[in-house]
Structure 1
Amino acid sequence: MSALRENALHEKFDLPGTDLARAACQFAEEQEGPYLFNHSVRSYLYGRALGEHRGLRPGADYDDELLFLSCVLHDLGLSAQDRGDQRFEVGGADAAARFLRERDVPEERVEVVWDSIALHTSLGIASRKRPEIALLHLGAGADVAGDGLDLLPADLVTEAEDLLPRLDLITSITDAIVEHAKADPRRAPLGTFPSLLVAEFAPEHAQPGWRQVVAAHAASH
């Protein structure tokens, strides 16, 4: 990211300006395609705004730097660098944790970021966790699926998409998750978000369903 664009984003949206936050922003942009990086920053903006809608104040009710780190690093599992066997949410959480530990971030803070990223697609769970975890889930959901988008200030969405264009986000992120899972079936275990996308968009690569799993178990006993 050019220094000019980075400064424009920080000034326009009052992003956390710590050295760690700026390093994470640069790292994410280096690892991800523009559509994914833009989505990650918009997830922070929307998560923070949805928190304000719920009466949550950054710096008072939650740690704003931790929310930013969680959001900007949350899709590292879809980067070309991920060669592991985990679903992309867990692979991304592991990558973010490595990034933070290499910079001597205290373990209790690393754990919050790990949980936030690992749980960000977990409906009914993430929203009931601590604010940093819940707000990543809500912000990413607003950007991808439109959940809660009507609660955001219209000018925020317009300005965010102007400086951080969507770039065909839905098609691109769906393809990325499916291709990531197709490369190793262990990346889409039964019942996970990746497994749902594989079943819909690449059914020939889908894992055995519940009835097949329990039938196979019953047949072996």
Structure 2
Amino acid sequence: MHGLPPREPSMSRLVAEFSVPDTELTREAYAFAAGLEPVAMLNHSVRSYLFGRAAGEGSGLRPGADYDDELLFLAAVLHDVGLTGRGDGHQRFEVDGADLAAGFLRERGLSEERVEIVWTSIALHTSAGIADRMRPEIALISTGTGIDVAGREAGRLPGGLADRVHEALPRLADGGGVLEVIIEQAVRDPAKAPLGSLAFELARQSAPGTPVPDWRALVAGAWAGVA
């Protein structure tokens, strides 16, 4: 029926069509994210999992054998909760989201070791060149989000997968609907956009008048007068 808002696919459909990890915790995490995020953002999160997993398989990484597939899904589905009202604090959105996700998982009894993997996966998911040198769960979240938002390394996906994924999880908004939220947060609260972060660069490019620190001046002025 025309005019109805888009709805997220059910977890049961994702399990049936894409064999996502089906545990009590993955279902709870999906429901938690769905209650916080618009459908475009939620779809982006699940696509990031599917693309990251597929890229890993193309490199010989086997889910459940070479890495913890449940943790990969948890990190992916929760990786943008820092862009929601519930997760919007005064840190960069990746860290706000990692903190919210970690608290959610601790409340449900996940071990601290596994919580730490999810936290790091979310906190570093925009840190290309760092995340990809770390354990597979962390690397594949960064890869999956990069594929989905910017098409980076999309050639690692098997033929036909992207079409299947987009049919089930349509884009609905460019970049998964996250770029505008990142920019809005950064402009409203510069503490959320430290120099060199993705949020800082998006705000610099997209919001005229965003102050840009002069790094050379900062360095030259540091410790001025100290012998």
Q: Secondary structure at the match of 2:100?
A: helix
Instruction: Output the CA distance in 1 between the equivalents of 2:172 and 2:24.
Output: 28
Q: CA deviation at 1:193?
A: 1.1
- CA-to-aligned-CA distance 1:145-196 (integer Å, 9 cap, x gap): 1112122123211111111111123283211110011121110011111111
Cα deviation, residue 6, structure 1: 2.4
Q: Which residue of 2 aligns with 1:165?
A: 170
Amino acid at match of 1:209: D
Distance 1:171 1:108 in 2: 30
In the alignment, structure 2 segments of 5+ residues that lack a partner are: 1-5
Mapped contact 2:51–2:144 kept (Cα < 8 A):
yes
Instruction: For 2:57 and 2:217, locate their aligned partners in 1 and report how far apart those are by CA, in whole Å.
Output: 45
Look up the SS of the partner of 1:189 in the other structure: coil
> 1:192-203 to 2 correspondence within 5 Å?
192-203=197-208
Residues 64 and 203 of structure 1: CA distance in aligned 2, closer, same or farther (over 3 Å):
same
Matched residue, 1:27 = 32
Where does 1:102-141 land on structure 2 (aligned, <5 Å)? 102-141=107-146
Matched, 1:91 2:91: no
Q: Does 76-85 or 130-139 show the bigger shift?
A: 76-85
Task: Give the CA deviation at 1:210.
Answer: 1.1
Query: C-alpha separation between the residues in 1 aligned to 2:121 and 2:211?
Result: 27
Q: TM-score, normalised by structure 2?
A: 0.91
Q: 1-side partners of 2:88 and 2:50: how far apart? A: 30
Spell out, residue by residue over 1:39-86, the C-alpha distance to the aligned partner (whole angstroms, 9 max, x if none): 000000000000000000011100000000010000011012233110
Report the number of matched residues. 221
**Shift >4 Å, 4+ stretches:** 1-4, 218-221
| Partner Cα distance (2:73, 2:37) in 1 | 16
Looking at secondary structure, tell me which structure has more helix per residue.
Answer: 1
- CA–CA distance in 1 between the matches of 2:130 and 2:215? 22
User: Is 1:143 equivalent to 2:148 in the alignment?
Assistant: yes
Q: What does the per-residue CA deviation read over 1:12-59, in whole Å, with 9 as the maximum and x for residues that have no partner?
A: 000100000010011111111111100000000000000000000011
Q: Structure 1 stretch 207-216 or stretch 102-111: which is displaced more?
A: 207-216
Query: Which of residues 182, 186, 201 in structure 2 aligns to 1:177?
Result: 182
Partners of 1:18 and 1:165 lie apart in 2 by 24
State the alpha-carbon separation in 2 of the partners of residues 204 and 2 from structure 1.
37
Decide whether aligned partners of structure 1 residues 49 and 193 sit closer, same or farther in structure 2, where only a CA change above 3 A counts: same
RMSD: 1.9
1:220–1:120 Cα change, 3 Å:
farther
Partner of 2:88, secondary structure, is coil
CA contact (8 A) 2:9 2:168 kept: no
**Distance of 1:143 and 1:23 partners within structure 2:** 24
Q: Distance in 2 between matches of 1:155 and 1:4?
A: 20
Alpha-carbon distance between aligned partners in 2 of 1:4 and 1:125, rounded to the nearest angstrom: 32
Percent identity (aligned): 52
Normalised by the length of structure 1, the TM-score is 0.94
Q: Is the 8 A contact 1:67 1:132 kept in 2?
A: yes
Show the counterpart of 2:209: 204
